Structure 1
Amino acid sequence: MILVVLGAEIGTRIGTHLREREQSQLALQTSTIGHPPIPSQPIIPSATDRDNSNFITTVVAKVGTAVVKVEADRPVSQNPLVEKFLGNLANEDRVEKGTGSGFILSADGKIVTNSHVVDGTDRVKVTLKSGQVLEGKVVGIDRVTDIAVLQVNAQNLPTVKLGDSDRLVQGEWTIAIGNPLGLDNTVTVGIISATGRTSTQVGIPDKRVNFIQTDAAINPGNSGGPLLNASGEVIGINTAIRANAQGLGFAIPILTATRITNQLFATGKVLHPYLGVQMIPLTAELKAGIAKEPSLRSKVTAQRGALVMKVIPHSPAETGGIRPGDVIIKIANRSIDSPNDVQQHVEASKIGRSLKLEVSREGRVRSLEIELGISPTITESAEK
């Protein structure tokens, strides 16, 4: 009973304050990131006087033909009151048209894009740079990472080369190719502004991705297109923009995307490991607030970690003994600083495997082993 009351007290006394603080920090971070300075002497291929070519034109010539336009038609649900009065006429021409980008992974027609580009349909129209239009089948989608894979019936198609998103350096060049605002095969250039941006920082907390941040212009229609390095290798999938981000875009790292696309092509779906908790970071500011509350001071004694606000009923976390008010301080003997650390450990684990945790509970450290389950639905994907 004490722990249940503790969870409620934490939620009512601290939750609202923390959400407001995180929102204000995100707004400040978004407005102050700006554009990191471009190195004064970037190491790039030199331009030639003969044809004005440079590393960007070289990349575009090499990769541009493997970037496609993806168009999806989705039926739109009609308001029941409208249907009542208009009858069958209410359903006529009620189709939502979506446009995005994608790129070709294999010469026999395997294509990757964003799940939100094709969600709600199983057939799409794929247009090559040459103007050739192909019918594409949606092989599988993963809403948790916003990745989808398509198949078109074709051979000898141009393909991209994949890079290593784990070796990105802040400040290195990036090139985005896509179809922003319906303008086919548009090229924009920028740099890597940052790596490891959490889904919460990006503004889409229901995703399980640590994003690449770039200032290469990414607009509606760029979704699903490639983010490239100066060598023309795909390092990410352009996926998210923020209306108030002042030109900042975000991309799914290609190593994350490859892991997901391999599963989608093999089985048509992705099963994500599931723990079943809702958490907030135990920051110095939060600790200071807890210290002022006599009823909480002796309950939350850890100095850092992920504070468990809620345990999902019948989840692996509940079965394994995690309780509201616990602070997750270690997983697999590695220190935990934030909920994102927990998310990454869970996502890197396997369903059915035991995850070793250390939690701080009322001044004592307890060791737990949690057997991870299968993430039940996309609506619960934020509950790690």
Structure 2
Amino acid sequence: MPELSGWRFLLLGIAGTAIALVACSSPAINPPTVLPAPQPTPQPTATPQPTPTPIAMPRTPTPVIIPPTSTPFTLPPTPTPITFPTPFPTSTPLLSTADLVEAVAPSVVHIGVTTANDTATGTGIVFGDGGLVMTNRHVVQDGLEIRVSLSDGQVLTGEIVGLDSSIDIAVVRVNTDDLLIAALGDSDAVRVGEDVVAIGHALDLPGGPTVSKGVVSALDRSIVDGSEVLSDLIQTDAAINLGNSGGPLLNARGEVIGINTAKIPTGDGIGFAIGINIAHDVALRLVAQSSVQAGFVGIEPLDITPTLADQLSLPVLRGVGVLRVVPGSPADGVLQVDDVIIQLDGVAIPDTLALEQFLRSHPAGEVVEITYYRASAGLLTDSLTLGERPG
């Protein structure tokens, strides 16, 4: 059975091969393999870097503690300093009445006038070098002889330098330089209620001038006597009588603030003085140009007020009405009764004060343009040559 033996050996060979394959393909339980201990992986050698320069960091600053915002404090405005008035100016102190009279008396003169029919008395005040005395025009205008008596008893002859009837001022000169010039004040600064003193030779009583005291009762008064108008007057209740005319009205510092000139005989304590600012200006003009006279229109005036204009149904509210035209005056033949003067040379004339102020600055002989209202013709314009005041 050689053939079967051969197949048996062949099967055995195949079987062995299969086992070998199975042994190779099946997991075999082998004893654990002992692995060597892991060695650290060597690091690559680093390229040496240059040592950096250390950066010095600034020190942390000490923290600043900001205080909480406070409520703003508003300072009050600086108060306006209060200036307390000095009781009296250092240079011109207030004087008692007795001291005032004593200081001013050497500048006050007595004026005696002989006219063609009578004699008259007035007062004057020394206002300039060379024996210049200021007084009223009505005191000396008719004088044939003028005697000026000084406080020391001297009696000198006076010479008229100039007359101005627009404000009743005259300048007389005496031949002496040894006179005390009176201090002049500022009549524009005078206040109603201010104490005043009047000095003059009232009624020509012997024994020196008469002194009276009062207050400033009113300012900017005007008085009209026919065609004569006096304006810019200071009203006072200091006694002013015949003989006081031309004398000084003084303030409490002994300064002349007015020239006493008139009184209302029917009233009690109503006297008037020309403001010294105007009087002095006119006096200086008379000295410089004794032949120049203020202009004159020649009417008896009446102030037209809005109330009066309404009552008379006038188309103008203000002006100077004509109550009478002086015969032979510049107005004669130009103006009529009841006309209302509106303008002179384009200057508004709302009242007699404005009229007199215009005439003071426009001398006699000057031709002016006059604008006026006449009921029968309306507004009219004419030329008028100013004349000299009579007397």
Range into which the TM-score falls when normalised by the shorter chain: 0.5 to 0.7
1:305 Cα deviation after fit? 2.7
After TM superposition, the score normalised by the length of structure 2 is 0.65
Match of 1:120 in 2: 142
Preserved CA contact (<8 Å) 1:316 1:370: no
CA offsets per residue over residues 52-74 of structure 1, 9 Å max, x none?
Answer: x9433332232111111111222
Pick one of 109, 131, 136 that aligns with 1:68: 109
What SS class does the counterpart of residue 269 from structure 2 fall into? Answer: coil
Preserved CA contact (<8 Å) 2:365 2:386: yes
1:110 Cα deviation after fit? 1.2
- Equivalent position amino acid for 1:56 in 2: T
Preserved CA contact (<8 Å) 2:292 2:364: no
Match of 1:280 in 2: 302
- CA distance in 2 between counterparts of 1:68 and 1:225 reads 8
- CA distance in 2 between counterparts of 1:302 and 1:335 reads 12
Q: What is the 5 A alignment of 1:322-337?
A: 326-330=339-343, 336-337=349-350
Pick one of 269, 273, 280 that aligns with 1:258: 280
CA offsets per residue over residues 231-282 of structure 1, 9 Å max, x none?
Answer: 2221111111222220221111212222332233334444122345554333
Match of 1:198 in 2: 222
CA offsets per residue over residues 342-383 of structure 1, 9 Å max, x none?
Answer: 3333333455666566544559975747465233524xxxxx
- CA distance in 2 between counterparts of 1:129 and 1:269 reads 31
Match of 2:39 in 1: none
| Alpha-carbon distance change, 70 to 204 in structure 1, aligned in 2, over 3 angstroms | farther
What SS class does the counterpart of residue 199 from structure 1 fall into? Answer: strand
Match of 1:178 in 2: 200
Is the deviation greater in 267-276 or in 123-132? Answer: 267-276
What SS class does the counterpart of residue 162 from structure 1 fall into? Answer: coil
**Greater helix share, structure number:** 1
1:193 Cα deviation after fit? 0.9
Preserved CA contact (<8 Å) 2:228 2:300: no
Preserved CA contact (<8 Å) 1:279 1:310: yes
- CA distance in 2 between counterparts of 1:220 and 1:43 reads 38
Match of 1:55 in 2: 96
| Alpha-carbon distance change, 359 to 99 in structure 1, aligned in 2, over 3 angstroms | closer
CA offsets per residue over residues 150-207 of structure 1, 9 Å max, x none?
Answer: 222222211102222222211112111121122412222211111111122xx57514
Q: What is the 5 A alignment of 1:103-142?
A: 103-142=125-164
- CA distance in 2 between counterparts of 1:323 and 1:256 reads 31
Preserved CA contact (<8 Å) 1:68 1:104: yes
What SS class does the counterpart of residue 259 from structure 1 fall into? Answer: helix
The number of aligned residues is 301
- CA distance in 2 between counterparts of 1:59 and 1:43 reads 20
1:332 Cα deviation after fit? 6.6
- CA distance in 1 between counterparts of 2:184 and 2:237 reads 21
Point out the structure with max Rg over C-alpha: 2
After TM superposition, the score normalised by the length of structure 1 is 0.66
CA offsets per residue over residues 24-73 of structure 1, 9 Å max, x none?
Answer: xxxxxxxxxxxxxxxxxx98659xxxxxx943333223211111111122
CA offsets per residue over residues 303-343 of structure 1, 9 Å max, x none?
Answer: 33333456678876678x76665433455766544344333
- CA distance in 1 between counterparts of 2:135 and 2:101 reads 19
Greater relative CO, 1 or 2 (CA 8 Å, sep 6+): 1
Preserved CA contact (<8 Å) 2:199 2:209: yes
- CA distance in 2 between counterparts of 1:137 and 1:274 reads 25
RMSD: 3.4
Match of 1:343 in 2: 356
1:138 Cα deviation after fit? 2.8
| Alpha-carbon distance change, 314 to 254 in structure 1, aligned in 2, over 3 angstroms | same
Preserved CA contact (<8 Å) 1:229 1:235: yes
Pick one of 307, 311, 318 that aligns with 1:304: 318
Please tell me whether residue 377 in structure 1 is matched to residue 382 in structure 2: no
| Alpha-carbon distance change, 209 to 372 in structure 1, aligned in 2, over 3 angstroms | farther
Match of 1:145 in 2: 167
What SS class does the counterpart of residue 210 from structure 1 fall into? Answer: strand
- CA distance in 2 between counterparts of 1:264 and 1:310 reads 30
Give structure 1 stretches of 5+ with no counterpart.
1-41, 47-52, 77-95, 292-299, 379-384
Preserved CA contact (<8 Å) 2:341 2:373: yes
- Equivalent position amino acid for 1:307 in 2: G
Identity of aligned residues (%): 35
- CA distance in 2 between counterparts of 1:194 and 1:216 reads 12
Preserved CA contact (<8 Å) 1:172 1:191: yes
